[in-house]
Structure 1
């Protein structure tokens, strides 16, 4: 499979603009491999947040990326700078699957997926319009960029039960917070490896560990081994910043046959 950054050198494949929608969801934007739209639950909560999803209806055989797409893909991106009374938008990600296209291993989804988005209002008691530039990569035998602008006026249809149900269902797919019996412990590594010991329910063969590179970190696919009866993942550190950050951490997801958890781990 040819990777996305090759296609990005071409001219505007998948460019388009979604016209404004007077509803708690945008219109669909159609591309070669599927279609995308923004859906919201309409009403902000007491903290001034509107829950929504980027709804990605992939055609059979097409895939899209997780928050860390590997060394050549592009994660889903959302720019809300043109919006009214929206100060921030943050993606959350359902558990991914690991894919090998012959060029490399990467994490993503091979089925239609709704990525939850939390929109934060600048002034909670004032009207808001979401005007979002969307960018993501979708892949079949080749990968193409999908770029469009989607507009939603959440207040125009605040009681849309169908949209609210879609958002609620998407939130239910997210990993739960890691806990002592389902999570990871960091083991001593070196400058070039991240090593974690995993605790989880179910079959070890069904377990997988995903860590998202950021702040100039880049990770390879983990190698599996066993130590003292525990499953261990050794993750190559392909690139790292010259100085290790002291704030924040790296997002990880641990999947099993019985569900998934997520958390933050310290920068190695």
Structure 2
């Protein structure tokens, strides 16, 4: 029995016991056996298109592996490495600067990763930095423009994002801007029936209520400070007019 076959036998045993195993690196024989690899560098563009995220996905692209197609991390989404952010005994952080670093990685990577992972990967057009990836539900990502678009709604433009939260059952949105403050937020068409929006600042101590703001033609006026994550939740819905004739 080869080492690969032996590993598969062990993995099948663990799966039978309800245990999901992760691995450091991507290996072909582990597809369908291990759902998650911490370093996803060895996946090619064709691999991403042929293997759904619910079969095999990963954390990030290790920057030390230089022959990596790093553009795939944006086109199809990538997660993050917490170990490079969190403080430790050997890396003290009395000013809690790790929080901004964590927010940057989480909001600019993980939310896009979770959003795209639920979609079917259809095709990629273009070459190199001119590539555009197409997904189900009329979603596409552009490497050159650093954008993620759902229909005609811009979910991401460079380092500004507004993504639905995949673990929430309501319409909650996360908003984050890395480099500049914002004064207005455009909402997706699915918020047409939302009359009032509750705005929260996301902190390590929980969500801090800021204010309720009216939804005016799917736009809200609110101060969004750079490097600060926010949560938008529907507060009130517009009442449908009842035809009594």
Q: TM-score, normalised by structure 2?
A: 0.25
- Highest relative contact order (Cα 8 Å, sep 6+), 1 or 2? 1
Greater Rg, structure 1 or structure 2?
A: 2
> Greater helix percent: which structure?
2
Q: TM-score, normalised by structure 1?
A: 0.23
